[in-house]
Structure 1
Amino acid sequence: MTRSGPSTPALLGLTARLGAFVAGSPRRSLSGRLQTIVRNGFADTVATMIAGRMEPAAQIARRWAASRQSPGRGQAHVLLSQEQMSARDAALVNGVAAHALDYDDVGLQGHPSAVLVSALLAEGERLGSSGNDLINAYVAGHEVWAELISRDHDLHHLKGWHPTGVFGTLAAASAIAALRGLDAERAAHALGLAASMASGLAANFGSMAKPFHAGQAAAHGIDAADLAQAGMTAAPDVLEHPKGFLTAISASGRVNLEPLPADFGSVARLESLGLTVKKYPMCFATHRVIDAAMDLVKANDFGAAQLVSAEATVGPAQASMLRNARPATGLEAKFSLQFAVAAPLVAHACGLEQLEDTFVQRPDVQSLFEKLSIRIVNTSHPTEPTLAASDRLVLHLSDGRCLDSGEVFVARGEASAPLRDEDLAAKFHDCARTVEPTARQALLDTLLSLPDVRSVSQIVQSGLACKL
Structure 2
Amino acid sequence: MSIAGELARFVTGTSVDDLPSLALERARMVIASTIASAAMGVDIVSSRIIRELARERAGAPEATVWFDGGGALPVADAARVNAVMSDAAASDDSDLRSIAHIGTIVSTTTIAMAERTGAGGRDVLAAMVLGYEIAGRIDEALTPGRGERGFHGSISTIFGGAVAAGTLLALTPAQMTQAIALAATSIGGLVVAANTSVAREYHAGLSAMLGIHAALAARKGFVAEENVLEMPRGFFSAFGGDHLLDVTKDLGTSWDITTNMAIKLVPGGHPHHAAAEAAANAAIAGDVDPHDVASIVLSSAKYRTLPGPKHPTDLIGVAHSPAYFIAAAIADRGYGWIHAAPEKVADPVIARLIDRITVDPNPPPYPDRFAHHHGATVTITLKDGRRFSDHVGFPRGSAPRGIEWAD
Q: TM-score scaled by structure 1?
A: 0.80
Deviation digits for residues 257-295 of structure 1 (CA, Å, limit 9, x no counterpart): 69945xx53324236515212222121111111111211
| Partner SS for 1:125 | helix
**Residues 66, 349 of structure 1: alpha-carbon distance in 2 compared, 3 angstrom cutoff:** farther
Query: Equivalent residue for 1:167?
Result: 156
Query: Equivalent residue for 2:405?
Result: 421
For the residues of structure 2 that align with 1:271 and 1:329, how far apart are their CA atoms?
31
Q: Which amino acid aligns with 2:163?
A: S
CA apart distance, 1:305: 2.3
Query: Equivalent residue for 2:267?
Result: 281
Contact 2:305 2:359 (8 Å CA) reproduced: no
Query: Equivalent residue for 1:246?
Result: 236
Query: Equivalent residue for 2:65?
Result: 78
CA apart distance, 1:234: 0.5
**Residues 56, 305 of structure 1: alpha-carbon distance in 2 compared, 3 angstrom cutoff:** farther
Structure 1 residues 387-426: aligned runs within 5 Å? 387=372, 389-405=374-390, 407-423=391-407
For the residues of structure 2 that align with 1:387 and 1:328, how far apart are their CA atoms?
26
CA apart distance, 1:393: 0.6
Contact 2:181 2:228 (8 Å CA) reproduced: yes
CA apart distance, 1:385: 0.8
Structure 1 residues 424-463: aligned runs within 5 Å? none
Is 1:140 the counterpart of 2:130? The answer is: yes
Contact 2:299 2:377 (8 Å CA) reproduced: yes
Find 2:113's aligned residue among 98, 118, 123. 123
For the residues of structure 2 that align with 1:155 and 1:315, how far apart are their CA atoms?
16
Q: Structure 1 stretches of 5 or more lacking a match?
A: 1-11, 424-468
Query: Equivalent residue for 1:184?
Result: 173
Is 1:219 the counterpart of 2:209? The answer is: yes
Deviation digits for residues 419-466 of structure 1 (CA, Å, limit 9, x no counterpart): 43322xxxxxxxxxxxxxxxxxxxxxxxxxxxxxxxxxxxxxxxxxxx
Query: Equivalent residue for 1:360?
Result: 345
**Residues 259, 308 of structure 1: alpha-carbon distance in 2 compared, 3 angstrom cutoff:** closer
For the residues of structure 1 that align with 2:356 and 2:184, how far apart are their CA atoms?
44
**Residues 322, 388 of structure 1: alpha-carbon distance in 2 compared, 3 angstrom cutoff:** farther
| Partner SS for 1:25 | coil
Indicate the percent of aligned positions where both proteins have the same amino acid.
24
CA apart distance, 1:219: 0.9
Contact 1:200 1:213 (8 Å CA) reproduced: yes
For the residues of structure 2 that align with 1:333 and 1:145, how far apart are their CA atoms?
27
CA apart distance, 1:390: 4.2
For the residues of structure 1 that align with 2:105 and 2:315, how far apart are their CA atoms?
23
Query: Equivalent residue for 1:47?
Result: 36
Q: Which amino acid aligns with 1:256?
A: L
Q: Which amino acid aligns with 1:409?
A: G
Is 1:350 the counterpart of 2:339? The answer is: no
For the residues of structure 2 that align with 1:138 and 1:92, how far apart are their CA atoms?
16
Larger RCO: Structure 1 or Structure 2 (Cα < 8 Å, ≥ 6 residues apart)? 1
For the residues of structure 2 that align with 1:129 and 1:230, how far apart are their CA atoms?
20
**Residues 26, 181 of structure 1: alpha-carbon distance in 2 compared, 3 angstrom cutoff:** farther
**Residues 36, 416 of structure 1: alpha-carbon distance in 2 compared, 3 angstrom cutoff:** same
Contact 2:296 2:381 (8 Å CA) reproduced: yes
Contact 1:206 1:334 (8 Å CA) reproduced: no
For the residues of structure 1 that align with 2:212 and 2:305, how far apart are their CA atoms?
32
Query: Equivalent residue for 2:291?
Result: 305
For the residues of structure 2 that align with 1:208 and 1:91, how far apart are their CA atoms?
18
Contact 2:283 2:380 (8 Å CA) reproduced: no
Q: Which amino acid aligns with 1:332?
A: G
Q: Which amino acid aligns with 1:86?
A: P
Find 1:91's aligned residue among 57, 61, 79. 79
Is 1:157 the counterpart of 2:151? The answer is: no
- Greater shift after overlay, 301-310 or 286-295? 301-310
Contact 1:321 1:335 (8 Å CA) reproduced: no
| Partner SS for 2:252 | coil
Contact 1:308 1:398 (8 Å CA) reproduced: yes
Contact 1:314 1:388 (8 Å CA) reproduced: no
Query: Equivalent residue for 2:225?
Result: 235
CA apart distance, 1:26: 4.2
For the residues of structure 2 that align with 1:397 and 1:321, how far apart are their CA atoms?
21
CA apart distance, 1:381: 7.0
CA apart distance, 1:378: 5.7
| Partner SS for 1:308 | strand
Deviation digits for residues 227-276 of structure 1 (CA, Å, limit 9, x no counterpart): 222222100211111121111100xx634269945xx5332423651521
Query: Equivalent residue for 1:448?
Result: none
For the residues of structure 1 that align with 2:174 and 2:364, how far apart are their CA atoms?
43
**Residues 147, 420 of structure 1: alpha-carbon distance in 2 compared, 3 angstrom cutoff:** closer
Q: Structure 2 stretches of 5 or more lacking a match?
A: none
Q: Which amino acid aligns with 2:366?
A: S
Query: Equivalent residue for 1:464?
Result: none
Q: Which amino acid aligns with 1:106?
A: S
Contact 1:167 1:198 (8 Å CA) reproduced: no
Deviation digits for residues 112-148 of structure 1 (CA, Å, limit 9, x no counterpart): 1111101111111111111111111112111211222
Is 1:67 the counterpart of 2:24? The answer is: no
CA apart distance, 1:13: 1.7
Find 1:22's aligned residue among 11, 33, 41. 11
Deviation digits for residues 3-37 of structure 1 (CA, Å, limit 9, x no counterpart): xxxxxxxxx12122122223223465322122111
Deviation digits for residues 341-387 of structure 1 (CA, Å, limit 9, x no counterpart): 111223333222211233212333223222111225363376x8132
Contact 1:26 1:179 (8 Å CA) reproduced: no
CA apart distance, 1:191: 1.1
Contact 2:144 2:370 (8 Å CA) reproduced: no
For the residues of structure 2 that align with 1:35 and 1:120, how far apart are their CA atoms?
14
**Residues 85, 320 of structure 1: alpha-carbon distance in 2 compared, 3 angstrom cutoff:** farther
